[in-house]
Amino acid sequence: MYPYFYGMGPEFLILIPAILFAMYAQAKVKGTFNKYLKIQNRTGYTGAQIARMILDRNGLNDVRIEHIRGSLTDHYDPRTKVLRLSTPVYNGRSVASAGVAAHEVGHAIQHATGYFPLILRNNIAPVANFGARFVWILVFAGFFFNSVLIQVGILLYLAVVAFQVVTLPVEFNASSRALDQLEDGIIAREEIAPAKKVLNAAALTYVAATLVGIAQLIRLVLLSNRRD
């Protein structure tokens, strides 16, 4: 019995719909972001300026904004209270830049207000990272040595799925906060709908990651049953 044969067996079919949806979600977010990256917001504010405005109006003067390389690499680091914006967002004056910048500030506001799902996600993160790194090593070893190792791998992977599930309300809430802030005079009213499209497209990627995680968990359980 070889794990690789099992890994590519009928259990793999469970992953296919989730993977296809994940591919669609990635294409959707890139296409939507690039579309609205070409449309300048009427106020002319850059993403960095918008982020600073929202942070300051919420009393988060201690949160720094940094420029990072890449595209769609924007994130908020709660450990250092640093908001990192990619080049198209940091320097951009587009509707897409406004939406992404405001979304990341939404995470900073969550952190400052003690938003519980964010706290829960941050606490799960170390275990989830460990599980994602070692699950297949344990599964592989379990096929050759002891099936208990597969069960341990599944338990660790549960933390990965839990992280992805908890991420959904965190991301949706950050987008909701972003739109509330943008509606308060930062961009024109008619630009809110396009900004929302950008954020909704980004949200699809998190939904897709969750579906892939759940499908992978089911696959692991089926592999474990076959080994037994």
Distance of CA 26 to the CA centre of its chain: 12
* Amino acid (1-letter code) at residue 15: L
d(CA 104, CA 106): 5
Tokens of 185: 């005079």
| Catalytic annotation, pick one of 11, 66, 104, 190 | 104
SS (H, E, C) 125-143: HHHHHHHHHHHHHHHHHHH
**Alpha helix (H) residue ranges in the chain:** 3-7, 15-37, 47-57, 87-90, 95-113, 116-144, 148-183, 192-227
Q: Which residues contact 35 (CB under 8 A, 6 or more apart)?
A: 96
> Mind giving me the DSSP string for 24-37?
HHHHHHHHHHHHHH
Q: Note if 104 is an active site residue.
A: yes
Other C-beta atoms closer than 10 Å to the C-beta of 117 total 17
Please answer whether residues 143 and 227 qualify as being in contact, where contact means their C-beta atoms are separated by less than 8 angstroms. Answer: yes
The residues annotated with a catalytic role in the active site are 104
